[in-house]
A and B are shown apart, each in its own frame.
Chain A
Amino acid sequence: MSGSSTPKSLPSSGQKSLHDIKHPLSCSPGAEEVAGVFVVNDTPSPELPHTDPNSIADKDLSLPNGTPADTSSPASSSSLLNRLQLDDDMDGETRDLFVTVDDPKKHVCTMETYITYRIMTKTTRAEFDFPEYSVRRRYQDFDWLKNKLEETQPTHFIPPLPEKFVVKGVVDRFSEEFVETRRRALDKFLKRIADHPVLSFNEHFSVFLTSKDLNSHKKQGATLLSKMGESVRYVTSGHKLRSRPLEFSAIGEYLDMFALKLGTIDRIAQRIIKEEVEYLVELREYGPVYSTWSALEGELSEPLEGVSACVGNCSTALEELTEDMTEDFLPVLREYILYSESMKNVLKKRDQVQAEYEAKVDAAALRREERTGAPTEVEKCQDKVECFNADLKADMERWQNNKRQDFRQLLMGMADKNIQYYEKCLTAWESIIPLLQDKPEPK
């Protein structure tokens, strides 16, 4: 990161703050703040983390299984433990690592413009020297982490990162909406890792969360290329597996189908939003016509004006609905589509490992005809396959559970948003009935 080496040259990140909330960190000199580690003392800092109104903790849609460390009191380990006991999730896994991504800031340098996000970590794990950390990272750092995880945890499903550019073509990468959507996706990415029983212990992950200088770690990753080369070799070997376990074929088929259906749902959701936006355009024209009419009339003036205002209220409710659906619904679908893609890659790697094993078995079988000897190489390979299979199965189960919860919340959220929309319209229309019945019926 260029910022970390020459902190002074970096323009104050507060200059183009995307969020106008004042954060304690933003008061400190830019040097420390941008790339440095902010270790929170035990002294209370009441407004420390979550004054952000957009904190996803409020949005039920995007937070199926992550609980942000949103205690406003300093995180003592006892209060954390209390939380843990309350928040036992369905697996009975206890969470002791809480990560949130917030406070995006725009950095304008001579060479480039980019966004950094603040990553807050709270933990009781002994592996960490401090209970709390705060660092700033940019998208390419997340990308580095993802690659490192894929490289070092090849047997696990690595959660997806948001695409580098969400929409092909012109997207304002620095628009508030884009940054917010990305922030949420990054938050989700880290939370999924933090909640994972294996991935959360990955050394690169802790480095990412805590390191003052991530760049020096990044430079060590030179081996990446050679490893990639190795895996490519197996992909191209085209070896037909003799006995791929049925369950993995089933997972592969499931993921294909799942991605296909989600793709369809994504298109439908986008289409609905498009129709709703066009409906909104018409409603915005429709309401004022009643006002125009109202100006012509005497006795009818008030009722017509009432209808006009009512249509206006319904338009506002509709606009909220489309915004909510765009911000909350679509990104989750996208995340799962990407997720299934990355999972398919892991399945492929599993097939490669099995292919490697089968090749060695064949080779050993040939050799055995000549001389007998303990084929330790083969056994090692067999272990590798079995470990892979076990990890994959466990991850799949985890993923299925997460997916079920996520979609339950997502779809319930969709229903809720629609219910709220109709309730707002209902209130609007009910409220004008008395206005229309200006002559109270004698009863």
Chain B
Amino acid sequence: MSGEEDHTGLFGAEEEQESLPEMAEEECLLKKMEISVSEAEKRTGKNSVNMQETYTAYLIETRSLENASDGQNSLESLWRRYSEFELLRNYLSVTYSFVVVPPLPEKRAEFVWHKLSADNMDPDFVERRRVGLENFLLRVAAHPVLSHDKLFLAFLTQENGWKEAINEAGLQVKTDSRLKALNATFRVKNPDKRFTELKHYSDELQSVISHLLRVLARVADRLYGVYKVHGNYGRVFSEWSAIEKEMGDGLQSAGHHMDVYAASIDDILEEQEHYADQLKEYLFYAEALRAVCRKHELMQYDLEMSALDLVTKKQQCEELTTGTVRAFSLKGVTNKLFGQETPEQREAKIKVLEEQIEEGEEQLKQRNLESRDFVQKAWQEIERFKEQKNRDLKEALINYAVMQISMCKKGIQVWNNAKECFSKM
């Protein structure tokens, strides 16, 4: 299928591995397996609350390349629906929070121009989503970290039990962390400048691409209008030719070329839609990038909370051991009201506090390590992502330019043909 060729060619999922020698030793799944989403099918079934629903299922085909030499046909296939892709992606982004997880294609058609249907069941939309889902799988399979995930492999090859396994993996954590991350955004005291900048970049990228897509849709609308109105010449030239003698033939055939011109816009805009999809992927990538930043903020928040907690406890401990009470502290007031504690009580409290401090120090150390580890992995990942992005978008721009060139050439050709007809009038 031509879509698949386009796909690897454009997104360079495979080339990525070849062009980066440092990753060559890191065997990603794509080296061992061919993956494609080859079909989409409309289905009707009952959902969890026993309601009738219609959805689209996608056929995932995989073939192991390792056993290929045995001559065995190791082709496997299974059906997944969009919501399962979503589940997989959620799982991956929770499990590998430092990874810029490849985004899924849009659930509903966005940034459409008038000719495109916004219907989820529209065949063109389903087809574009099929390509998008395949692209998602290829991107994950090409990823140095994600491609080694067992549940990802299971998603591709295990028809049954996958959902249960992924639920066990504790997706619940995800919702909690998401909520906490939201709060953390406003509370982190010492944000990492690099992540702040990255977050800022993600916001800007998202806003500029969505602006671009909006205008692109309007550009498409107008271009469609310009071409289609030319089609009216086709009809009127033909009618006019009926009353002309010498001019008749020329007009008639020029009218035909005008029809061709008007019809050519459909293919042009279909190609442009492909470009829009590539931009959309990066629009959604911006969100993935932000998720990494949020995760970092959350870690930083936890780290700061631990540190703060430790400081408070150390202070309490000091107060108890030295007996000095800070003026205006709540402790001092209660002590005055309820009388001094016995030395035994104080000793016991100090002991508990000392234990807690020890724990806290351990935790802080742990969190520091985790955070350092996260930052290191995340930056490596972000660097990788940046390279991928530059490569992909440059290629997308080239393809866009090539598309424009071919549109211009077609335009020149049609008008030359028409001119030839006019010249014979």
Contact = CB atoms under 8 A, between A and B. Distances in A.
Contacts of B201: 296
A296 B411 contact: no
Contacts of A430: 405
Main secondary structure of the interface of B (DSSP, over half): helix
B216 interface: yes
B420 to A, nearest CB: 9
A275 interface: yes
Nearest to B226: A275
B222 A278 contact: yes
A307 B399 CA distance: 12
A430 B401 CA distance: 8
Contacts of A292: 208, 211
Interface string B243-270: 1001100100010000000000000000
Interface stretch (B92-100, B287-295, B389-397): B389-397
B425 A404 contact: yes
Contact of B425 (A303, A411, A436): A411
A111 to B, nearest CB: 45
Interface string A269-288: 00110011011011101100
A422 B408 contact: yes
Interface in A256-302: 257-258, 261, 264-265, 268, 271-272, 275-276, 278-279, 281-283, 285-286, 289-290, 292-293, 296-297, 299-300
Nearest to A401: B246
Contacts of B215: 282, 285-286, 289
Interface residues of B, number: 50
Interface string B201-239: 100110011011001101101110110011011001001
B239 A261 contact: yes
A408 B247 CA distance: 8
Given A303-B394, A423-B412, A429-B401, A268 B236 contact: yes
B78 to A, nearest CB: 38
Given A283-B219, A419-B415, A429 B208 contact: no
A224 interface: no
B55 interface: no
Contact of B408 (A278, A281, A307, A429): A429
Nearest to A433: B401
A412 B422 CA distance: 6
A282 B229 CA distance: 18
A257, A292, A412 pick with most chain B CB within 10 angstroms? A412
Contact of A296 (B204, B221, B423): B204
B400 interface: yes
B396 to A, nearest CB: 10
B243 A257 contact: yes
B398 A272 contact: no
Given A296-B201, A404-B246, A415 B422 contact: yes
A429 B223 contact: no
A361 B400 CA distance: 78
B398 A433 contact: yes
A422 B239 contact: no
A361 B375 CA distance: 111
B222 A282 contact: yes
A426 B412 contact: yes
Name, among A258, A286, A436, the residue most crowded by chain B CB atoms within 10 Å (CB to CB). A436
Contacts of A261: 236, 239-240, 243
B146 interface: no
Interface in A26-44: none
B416 A282 contact: no
Nearest to B246: A404
B229 A272 contact: yes
B212 A289 contact: yes
Contacts of A264: 232, 236
A297 B205 CA distance: 9
B419 to A, nearest CB: 4
Interface in A289-346: 289-290, 292-293, 296-297, 299-300, 303-304, 307, 310
A426 B222 contact: no
B340 interface: no
Nearest to A270: B229
A402 interface: no
Nearest to B230: A272
A37 B217 CA distance: 60
A174 interface: no
A438 B254 CA distance: 42
Contacts of A282: 215, 218-219, 221-222
Contacts of B401: 307, 310, 429, 432-433, 436
Contact of A418 (B223, B397, B405, B415): B415
A437 interface: yes
A296 B208 CA distance: 9
A272 B229 CA distance: 6
B253 to A, nearest CB: 12
A324 to B, nearest CB: 14
Contacts of B211: 289, 292
The interface centre, meaning the residue of B246, B398, B401 with most chain A CB atoms within 10 A of its CB, is B401
Most buried by A among B230, B390, B404: B404
A425 interface: yes
A296 B419 contact: no
A429 B411 contact: no
B204 A419 contact: no
5 contacts: A264-B236, A293-B205, A303-B397, A411-B254, A422-B415
Given A275-B229, A293-B205, A429-B408, 15 more contacts: A254-B243, A276-B226, A279-B223, A282-B221, A286-B215, A286-B216, A299-B390, A412-B422, A418-B411, A421-B411, A422-B409, A422-B412, A425-B404, A426-B405, A436-B397
Q: What are the 6 closest A-B residue pairs judged by CB atoms, nearest first?
A: A415-B419, A279-B222, A426-B408, A422-B411, A411-B422, A275-B225
Interface of A: 254, 257-258, 261, 264-265, 268, 271-272, 275-276, 278-279, 281-283, 285-286, 289-290, 292-293, 296-297, 299-300, 303-304, 307, 310, 404, 407-408, 411-412, 414-416, 418-419, 421-423, 425-426, 429-430, 432-433, 436-438
